[in-house]
Structure formats: structure tokens, C-alpha cells
Chains A and B, each alone.
Chain A
Amino acid sequence: MGSRWTGIFWSFVFLAVPVLGVATFAVAPAFDIWLPKDVSSDGATIDSLFMFILILTGVVFVITEGLLFWFLWKYDAAKATGPATYVHGNHTLEVVWAVIPAGVLLFLAIYQMNTWANVKMRRPAMSPTLEVVGRQFEWRLRYPGRDGTLGTPDDLFLVNDLHVPVDEDILIQLKSMDVLHSFFLPNLRVKQDAVPGMKIPVWFKATQTGQFDIVCAELCGWGHYKMAGQITIESRKDFNAWLDSMYAKQEATQPEPAAVALAE
């Protein structure tokens, strides 16, 4: 049977779960293990949805775990020596705790619909800013060039080095050359699987300049872990200048003088 300290010990072990659980979320931002910096126009809504769900589920979590601790403590076999009572169940209670979560779920589904539609359904009416093709293990990019049409001889071909202008709607045509990949821009809260055979539109609007990561979020082979790229968000002027300089490099008919660095 064990002494009464057994019960106390194990109750506190289980209490550690909600305590540590909440503690890690509380200190995470201080250790920079939290949501990446958001630089997109839809990011605030998405993050607030995330926080809402986190808090809601967090509260329920703490309550449930707390109850678990309470029952472990109160009904410790060493102390509660009385006979067990058979309870037929409480119908009202069961209805309550089925209906309330269902209602919360329904509320969440409706509450987030608009954000989902913004991100996945309301495509901006524009021609693609560029085409991104996922390939083991890199992101191949194709900008349409001056004529604005993809698939013409003035296209600009690049790898892994994505540039977009700030404060403008960006539409990306996402394809895959071989297997499933997932185009993930953490700082823009954009994630879309690249499916071979499909041309999937992805759009966003960046609100701040800077350099951020592109990562692959769908296991695509042995190099999946290093299938990373870089997205540079810059002013329209800088973006145009960059496009021009990259296009000039692509059309080079003379070798570069030795002093010119290879990086743009």
C-alpha cells in the first residue's frame, strides 16, 4: 500500500505538468523561441488567432490538469480508506461539457473564416510577380522580366535568392519539379505545399524590409533539412535596380572583370 507520502509525491509529479507547461510558454519569448518576427499584412490576424486558441486551450489545460492533481491528492488510497461509491453519471454535466467545447469550436471556425479567405481564397487580381519551382533541394525562381509575362525569352532565372518589393501585393505561382515540397515563409506566415503537376497561387504583402528565411516544410528527401532560401524585402526602387542588375548579369556576353564580387 505504501505510506501516505507516496500519494503526495506522485500528485506533485503530475502537478509539474501544467506548471512546467505554462512556464515554458511564459519564458519562451525571452529565449527567442517564439513566433518569428512578423512582417506581413495578414500576420497580425493570424498571430492573434493563434494566441486566442493558445489561451483558450491553455486555460482548459490548466483547469483539467489542476483537477487531475486535486483528485490524486484528495483520493489518495492511503488516506481515502472509505468504500468507493458508484455514480450513475451526471447527465447535465455531460451535456454541458460536450456543448461548450462544440460551441467554442464552431465559434473558432467562423471567427477565422475571414482570415483564411484572405490568405487562401481572395487572390489579388494581378499577374504573378514570379514563379517559384521547388526542386530537390533548392527553390528555383523565375521572374517574368520587362514584358511581364512568364515563359518568354526575357525571363530572369535565379536560385534561392528571392526578392520582393515592400508594401505591394505579391503573387507567386508555385510549382514543383519533382516531389512534394512546401514553400514556407515563416516571417510572412505563408505556407503552401508545392504539388507536382499543380500550379498553386500564393500571395502576401510584406510590410517591412529585411532578409528572412525560406524553408521547405514537407519532407522531400535526404536534403530536406538544407532546402533553405532567402527572401529579401526591399523598396520598389531597390527591387527594380536589383532586377536590372541580375538581368544584365544573366545576359552577359563578356566575362566580369576580376574585381567585381559575385554576390549582388
Chain B
Amino acid sequence: MQLANCLTEIGRQASRLAFLLLCTLVLASVIGCGATPPAYFRPNMVESTKQRLNPEQERQVATVLLAMFGTPDHPVALAETGLNEAKLHLAAGPVRSDIVGRKNGLYREHCAHCHGITGDGLGPTAAFLNPYPRDYRPGVFKFKSTERADKPTQADLVRILHNGIAGTSMPSFALLSETKIEALAEYVKYLTIRGETELTLIRAFFELDDDAKGTLPETREFLVEETLTPIAAKWQAAPAAAIPVPPIPANIDLVASIAKGRELFYGDKANCVKCHGVTGLGDGQANDYDDWNKVIVEADKEIRSGTEQASQASTAGMSPEQLADHRLQLVWLEKFHQVLDGDALTPRTIPPRNLRQGIYRGGRRPLDLYYRIYAGINGAPMPAAKGTVPPEDIWHIVNYVRSLPYEFDGELGADRPMVAPNRF
């Protein structure tokens, strides 16, 4: 009798506790854990809207890309791309452990929040960063050891991952193992090749003959041999395009070299001060854009001029055809405007580098500075000194630039204030 009472009571109280716990759990799951939809590649809306693709054509591009490259969770690398599918699988997909306990989903873990799932530089954190994260899709990379027009080598990509980019939000991944860094570099190449193929396909609609149905041929000849192979070939040709670097003269007198470099820096062969400023603070000019931002600025201009024209056009004297065209134009302008709102970041000018800070984005080795001066910076306004400034002179400029953070104010004269317009 006692025992029965005891047990009933314990049961009653325990069940009260259990009920409370259950309620909390249910509430938590209802609020917190919705199922996430699978990740998908976002189409290049700015380009396809600029080229006035209709939904059928956009669909065709998406379908072809799905066939050629797969999805973010299941990447496909055709043999012509020269990519290693095993490395891609290590980097692709959600973060998870595979059967041997290795961590997969490296790209999504480390890169996607800035560079985006599609590698378009439109990840959730992108809008808060200055400079913006790289958009891989045009296939242009700034800091590499190859000639201006060429792609970076594997070593270049690995170096950026390993060292990060000083003065930007790109962190150093030196603490990751070699295997992981190589898998990430491979996945970046994959996203870039995919992006370049997408741009080529979108632009190909304009190249179609007017009597064609407005769809691209879905043949191996067009897709692989004419479109994909030239793109992949440029990547494979990258190591052959390495910038030749003659050795720095053996017993170079550093003081004399710096003086010579200063002469060249201020001279009109290399014209460095025209952009980097007579103080080297990067205040020579402030109104140019890098290639990625230029696209948005020009799209903006196109929309603005189109809107102005459309609003000025009087619909009174228009034929039915002209009216239909006019309406289509308005719809297109509205769409383009929305695309720039949601699929593009506010364009920013690219200030010339402040050389007094000792922060060198592409690397601080004399070799890195040589590469930047010789070939300029692809995608940025920095021009190439190749062919204009002989190699020994480039080394003199390199030595001068490296001495800039340590040059004392007094040397420049009291009339030139050392005021940096921005921090980086």
C-alpha cells in the first residue's frame, strides 16, 4: 500500500517533469530547426539581363551548366576541364564527415560566406567588407606570377590561401593541411571555369544568327570543343605564361638603388606618382573602378539612360509595334534595376595603393612587387611597366617602394602633409 502510493507519487511528479521537458523540446524544434533547401548555383543575372535573355534562354543556360558542371553538392568535372574530381568532392557539398572520418564541405565551411556558393562574391558577409570578396566568374585574378592576360598557376592560388591577403578580409588558411588547401584551390578553379563558361554561353545568344531559334546548340561540338576547351586551355597554359624574373644584380648598392628607384617613381616613364601620389599615399586620383565594379557602373548608366529616354518618348505617335517595343523596354529596365538591387553590390571606386603603410596585398616579397610592377594588376587600373621599364630599373623601383614606409617625413618637405585618405 505504501509502496503503491510511493510509486504513484513519483510517477506523477516525474511525468510532470517529463512533460515540461517535452514541451521545451517541441518548442525549440518548431522555432529553430527548419529543413534547409539544397544549395543551388545562382545564375549570372547581371549579364543575362544585360544581354536581354528571355526566361527560356535563361533556363537553357542553367540546364546546360547543370549538365556540364553539376550542383554545389555534386560537382561534375568533364575531362576537358583538367580538374581533379576527387579534390572537388572534398571541397564541395555541406560540411560533413565522410566514411573515413575526413571533413568534407571545405568550401562551404571556409569560403562560401564571403565568396558565395556560386563563387560570385555575393555571400551573406560580402556587403560588409571593403574590399569586396572576389567574384571568380569573369576568370580574372589580381595577384599571380603570370603575365597580365593569363590565369594564375596552382601555386599562385595556394599561396593566396596560405598567406591570405594583407589589408583585406581574406584570411590566412595556413593552419589547414596541404590536402585541404589544394582541394579548395581546385574548387575555386572549378567555380571560375563554370563562371567563365556561363558568361560565354550568355554572350553567345547575341552571336546567334537572327534566323536561329534563339536557342544555343546543345551539341558536344559547341559546348565542349568551342566553349569549354578554350577556357580550360588558358588555365592549363598558365605555368607556361610565368613572368620571367631576371635575378636582382648581385652586389647592388641598396642606397643607390633606392635613389634610382625614387627617380623612376617620380619620372614620366613609370608615372607612379600620377596615381600613387607625390606623397606615395595613394591620393593621386580617386575616380577609377576595377573591372568587377565597372560592370555594375556601366549597367547603372545603361539603366539610367534607358529610363530617361523611355520617359521622354511620347507614346502618342507610336505604331502598335513601337508601343509594344516601348513596353518591353520598360519591363526590361525594371527587371535590370531589380537585378542590380539584389544581385550586385554597390560599386566602389578603387583607390591607388597607399604605399606608406607597408601593406602589400599580393605579397611583400621583392618578387611579388616585381610581378605587380612588371605586369600590372589584371582587373585593376594598375598598368604594366613591361616593355617600358627595363628589368634592372624595375628592381630599383621595387627597392624604393619597399623603403617608402620607413622614409621620414622630413625628406619630403614640410609643405606636403602626410594625410592618408583611407586606411587601406
Contact = CB atoms under 8 A, between A and B. Distances in A.
Whether the complex brings A and B within 8 Å at their CB atoms is answered yes
B372 to A, nearest CB: 14
B365 A251 contact: yes
B123 to A, nearest CB: 11
A261 B364 contact: no
B356 to A, nearest CB: 13
A222 B159 contact: no
Contacts of A152: 406
A45 to B, nearest CB: 31
Given A159-B172, A262-B162, A263-B178, A5 B125 contact: no
A3 B171 CA distance: 64
Interface in A145-204: 151-153, 157, 159-161
A249 interface: yes
Interface residues of B, number: 35
Indicate the member of A250, A252, A262 with the most B CB atoms within 10 Å. A262
B6 A254 contact: no
A250 B363 CA distance: 9
Contacts of B169: 136-137
A26 B192 CA distance: 54
B22 interface: no
Given A3-B9, A138-B171, A253 B366 contact: yes
Given A160-B174, A249-B365, A153 B402 contact: yes
Contacts of A30: none
A228 B172 CA distance: 10
B21 interface: no
Contacts of A137: 169, 171
A148 to B, nearest CB: 16
A228 B175 contact: yes
Nearest to B365: A252
A8 B6 CA distance: 9
A222 B402 contact: no
Indicate the member of A159, A223, A261 with the most B CB atoms within 10 Å. A159
B390 interface: no
A58 interface: no
A253 B9 contact: no
Nearest to A221: B128
A230 interface: yes
Given A5-B5, A138-B171, A263-B178, A153 B403 contact: yes
A218 to B, nearest CB: 18
Interface string B160-204: 001110100101101100100000000000000000000000000
Interface stretch (B47-55, B87-95, B241-249, B271-279): B241-249
Contacts of B166: 140, 157, 159
Contacts of B248: 253
Contacts of B364: 157, 250
Contacts of A112: none
A229 interface: yes
A159 B247 contact: no
Nearest to A230: B175
A153 B13 contact: no
Contact of A9 (B10, B155, B175, B365): B10
A262 B406 contact: no
Given A3-B9, A9-B10, A153-B406, A251 B366 contact: yes
Nearest to B403: A153
Nearest to B402: A153
Given A2-B9, A254-B247, A229 B175 contact: yes
B171 A9 contact: no
Given A138-B171, A159-B174, A262 B159 contact: yes
Interface in A1-54: 2-3, 5-6, 8-10
B396 to A, nearest CB: 13
Nearest to B366: A253
Given A5-B10, A153-B403, A222-B125, A254 B367 contact: yes
Interface in A206-264: 222-223, 226, 228-230, 249-256, 258, 261-263
Interface string B203-217: 000000000000000
A255 B171 CA distance: 23
Contact of B174 (A161, A226, A250): A161
B324 to A, nearest CB: 49
B172 A160 contact: yes
A229 B174 CA distance: 9
B158 A253 contact: no
Nearest to A256: B155
Contact of B367 (A5, A229, A255, A262): A255
A252 B159 contact: no
B354 interface: no
A9 B174 contact: no
B408 to A, nearest CB: 12
B159 A255 contact: no
Indicate the member of A152, A255, A256 with the most B CB atoms within 10 Å. A255
Nearest to B172: A159
Contact of A159 (B164, B395, B403): B164
A6 B171 contact: no
13 contacts: A2-B9, A3-B9, A5-B8, A8-B6, A10-B13, A137-B169, A138-B164, A159-B174, A160-B172, A222-B125, A229-B175, A262-B178, A263-B178
The 6 A-B residue pairs with the shortest CB-CB distance in the complex, in nearest-first order: A5-B9, A159-B172, A253-B248, A252-B365, A5-B6, A9-B13
Interface of A: 2-3, 5-6, 8-10, 136-138, 140, 151-153, 157, 159-161, 222-223, 226, 228-230, 249-256, 258, 261-263
Given A153-B403, A253-B366, A262-B155, 7 more contacts: A9-B9, A137-B169, A160-B172, A229-B175, A251-B366, A253-B247, A262-B159
